[in-house]
A and B are shown apart, each in its own frame.
Chain A
């Protein structure tokens, strides 16, 4: 009798040990999480554990647009706004039906908004995007045709709406504020055009198509007129070269777009290809094409660069973030470009605001 109860007791103990063990395993599976591996949405959500802090959870995917616009509360854009009024730029972007969603869409979402007027030029009209239909075919062979017709269209419909007329590709990123700084020194009635200057084939040089180029109002008039009077014809399909030849014929000057330290502002490639020494091999055509001595490394590119080319969709937004959002707080930039005298005077008169005057005189003081 006694041994039987002893045995029962032992079995009871075994059972409880097994029960305890199984239960602990179960709990460790249910409760144990290693939440550290992938930076998922949850971990980037600073309010994950504290929903009671602000009374609402702030998911990364949902953007509070109001919160964002006030990120620029202590940003003074008076000078940029003044230049927007003073230096009116119409941009037209060379695109095609198959590139609207892939490329042109991202141009529209980023830099295109800063043009005084923007037009997307395609072989076909698209009322939704919207694009202008040039009634050409698509393809590399058509580039000069599209360019001629695009400028014709701009001349016919928007000549008085702008002072300068910029052509860009749908994989060009343009910084309009910097283009306005560059052009502020010139008169739109001068026959002149700017871009990344190449030296072969044309005596005064010609401007790279991909890096974008901008014509003065007088240059546009002469260009359109040249096709009417047949001073220029569709001589080749190499858009930038053919346009450059025409410019020389009609006495439109190929301008120097470099900044006051001699650094290039229009770029035929993305920043990485210019900034990294040795990225572009020495046998690459580029080294023989540049009108001015080409530079690789930090001296390649102006602080107030105007354009980059072969920019894919991700890089469009990255550049937008780096130019218009991320900045080093309090940093005194090494290069402080100045505004032309007459514009400075205008801004001083226009703004009775003391703060702006102080800021401007600070700007002037630095070399």
Chain B
């Protein structure tokens, strides 16, 4: 009896030691790999103001036109009121905006991707956009209908970024070993990233339609995994002062938190002056944001900007 129990115990000890060794080794290996990649340019910052003053007047229009942003909004029938608001408001500031819906909705024009699964919707939208518009746009911005975006600030943020480089930016989140851009804050891909993504979409081992072994992964994580195989890594977008420009919350929520956490510096500590996105808005709030961003301002405050953007046609409240 004694010899059996001692062999059992020896077995348990050996098993645990073996397991511990494997886990440690595994972690060290992965950790190393990540660290070398991510240190290159993990935090993207908006261009410096000193660099901007060197651009001449005549170059401004040309430079502004060089950013061609194609907007993808993934919608479902339940999003119809947000869809209406988004359609009437900020998407008019994209160079082109298209809505990709899970099924055909009579009220609005959209590209029907014929699936309810968010990851499949995303894949089909990216493939459609790339196949059709690869030569016409150099930046691709994907958002949910609950997101409000200021495309002019997006273009300003992209000012010194070469679209032929693999950029994948937005509000980045860390989940274990994976850095991914949260879909709630909006996802920006350069044309190079789109190329790489699209070449992998047809490779099921790297970019499966059904990612995640035990439970389903969210679509933004699946995108990150897929892009990682192509050597494209998520980066958090910040302004020159370290504030996030892509936000997964609304202004109101930021303000409420600030009133609790730092009541003496509510607005100063809130959000970037050059914020690109906010999320979690109601349709009414979209209209209020349009007025608040594109119209309401203080007289006598003048800015000398490097880019020039004209108000779009067929749009009011901006």
Binding site for B on A (CB under 8 A): 4, 7-9, 11-24, 27, 31-36, 39, 43-44, 46-50, 53, 58, 60-65, 67-68, 70-83, 109-110, 175, 177-178, 180-181, 271-272, 275-276, 279, 297-298, 301, 303-305, 313-314, 317-335, 337, 355, 359, 363
Contacts A80-B301, A332-B308 known; A272 to B284 CB distance under 8 Å?
Answer: yes
A68 to B242, alpha carbons, bound, how many Å? Answer: 10
A327 to B16, alpha carbons, bound, how many Å? Answer: 58
**14 A–B contacts, CB within 8 A, in A order:** A22-B16, A27-B19, A46-B238, A61-B261, A71-B273, A74-B52, A181-B299, A301-B295, A328-B152, A329-B155, A329-B309, A330-B306, A355-B304, A359-B304
B307, A329: Cβ atoms closer than 8 Å:
yes
List residues of chain A with CB within 8 A of the CB of B252.
314, 318
B293, A328: Cβ atoms closer than 8 Å:
yes
Query: What is the CB-to-nearest-CB distance from B58 to chain A, in angstroms, rounded to a whole number?
Result: 14
B258 contacts A by Cβ under 8 Å: yes
Query: What is the CB-to-nearest-CB distance from A262 to chain B, in angstroms, rounded to a whole number?
Result: 15
Query: What is the CB-to-nearest-CB distance from B41 to chain A, in angstroms, rounded to a whole number?
Result: 11
Not counting A80-B301, A329-B152, A333-B311, a sample of 7 additional A-B residue pairs whose C-beta atoms are within 8 angstroms of each other reads A4-B3, A17-B11, A20-B19, A298-B317, A317-B267, A322-B296, A332-B308
Contacts A23-B20, A46-B236 known; A63 to B302 CB distance under 8 Å?
Answer: no
List residues of chain B with CB within 8 A of the CB of A49.
38, 42, 174
B256 contacts A by Cβ under 8 Å: yes
B199 contacts A by Cβ under 8 Å: no
A175, B302: Cβ atoms closer than 8 Å:
no
Contacts A35-B174, A36-B175, A43-B173 known; A11 to B11 CB distance under 8 Å?
Answer: yes
Q: Tell me the dominant secondary structure on chain B's binding face.
A: mixed
A275, B317: Cβ atoms closer than 8 Å:
yes
Q: Which of B241, B264, B308 has the most chain A CB atoms inside 10 A of its CB?
A: B241
A110 to B259, alpha carbons, bound, how many Å? Answer: 13
B318 contacts A by Cβ under 8 Å: yes
Contact of B23 among A27, A61, A318 (CB under 8 A): A27
List residues of chain A with CB within 8 A of the CB of B258.
317
B298, A80: Cβ atoms closer than 8 Å:
yes
B297, A16: Cβ atoms closer than 8 Å:
no
**Contact bitstring B10-48, A, C-beta under 8 A = 1, else 0:** 111111101110010001000000000011001100000
Binding site for A on B (CB under 8 A): 3-4, 7-16, 18-20, 23, 27, 38-39, 42-43, 49, 52-53, 60, 64, 150, 152-153, 155-156, 173-176, 180, 182, 218, 221, 236, 238-239, 241-242, 244, 248-249, 251-252, 255-256, 258-259, 261-262, 264-275, 284-285, 287-289, 291-311, 316-318
B255, A318: Cβ atoms closer than 8 Å:
yes
List residues of chain B with CB within 8 A of the CB of A329.
152-153, 155-156, 274, 305, 307, 309
B241, A71: Cβ atoms closer than 8 Å:
yes
B311, A331: Cβ atoms closer than 8 Å:
yes
Contacts A35-B173, A63-B262 known; A330 to B305 CB distance under 8 Å?
Answer: yes
A153 to B182, alpha carbons, bound, how many Å? Answer: 56
A75 to B12, alpha carbons, bound, how many Å? Answer: 69
List residues of chain B with CB within 8 A of the CB of A83.
299-300
> Closest 8 CB pairs between A and B?
A15-B11, A19-B15, A80-B300, A16-B15, A330-B307, A19-B12, A322-B292, A20-B15
A19, B271: Cβ atoms closer than 8 Å:
no
B150, A304: Cβ atoms closer than 8 Å:
no
B221, A36: Cβ atoms closer than 8 Å:
yes
Contact of A15 among B12, B23, B175, B305 (CB under 8 A): B12
List residues of chain B with CB within 8 A of the CB of A337.
299
List residues of chain A with CB within 8 A of the CB of B39.
50
Query: What is the CB-to-nearest-CB distance from B6 to chain A, in angstroms, rounded to a whole number?
Result: 9
A13, B317: Cβ atoms closer than 8 Å:
no
List residues of chain B with CB within 8 A of the CB of A35.
173-176
A16 to B302, alpha carbons, bound, how many Å? Answer: 73
List residues of chain A with CB within 8 A of the CB of B268.
63, 65, 68
Query: What is the CB-to-nearest-CB distance from A184 to chain B, in angstroms, rounded to a whole number?
Result: 9
Q: Which of B42, B249, B268, B272 has the most chain A CB atoms inside 10 A of its CB?
A: B268
By beta carbon, the residue of chain A nearest B282 is: A272
List residues of chain A with CB within 8 A of the CB of B298.
80, 175, 177-178, 323-324
Q: Which of B239, B255, B285 has the most chain A CB atoms inside 10 A of its CB?
A: B255
A275, B287: Cβ atoms closer than 8 Å:
yes
List residues of chain A with CB within 8 A of the CB of B11.
11-19
A332 to B311, alpha carbons, bound, how many Å? Answer: 7
List residues of chain B with CB within 8 A of the CB of A73.
49
A292 to B311, alpha carbons, bound, how many Å? Answer: 28
By beta carbon, the residue of chain B nearest A179 is: B299
List residues of chain B with CB within 8 A of the CB of A24.
19, 23
Q: Which of B19, B241, B264, B294 has the most chain A CB atoms inside 10 A of its CB?
A: B19
Query: What is the CB-to-nearest-CB distance from B271 to chain A, in angstroms, rounded to a whole number?
Result: 7
A39 to B100, alpha carbons, bound, how many Å? Answer: 26
List residues of chain A with CB within 8 A of the CB of B15.
15-23
List residues of chain A with CB within 8 A of the CB of B294.
328, 331, 333
A301 to B238, alpha carbons, bound, how many Å? Answer: 33
B303, A327: Cβ atoms closer than 8 Å:
yes
Contacts A19-B12, A322-B251, A355-B304 known; A272 to B288 CB distance under 8 Å?
Answer: yes
B18, A20: Cβ atoms closer than 8 Å:
yes
List residues of chain A with CB within 8 A of the CB of B304.
74, 76, 355, 359
List residues of chain B with CB within 8 A of the CB of A301.
291, 295-296
A26 to B15, alpha carbons, bound, how many Å? Answer: 13
List residues of chain B with CB within 8 A of the CB of A314.
252, 255-256, 259
Query: What is the CB-to-nearest-CB distance from A319 to chain B, in angstroms, rounded to a whole number?
Result: 8
By beta carbon, the residue of chain B nearest A306 is: B299
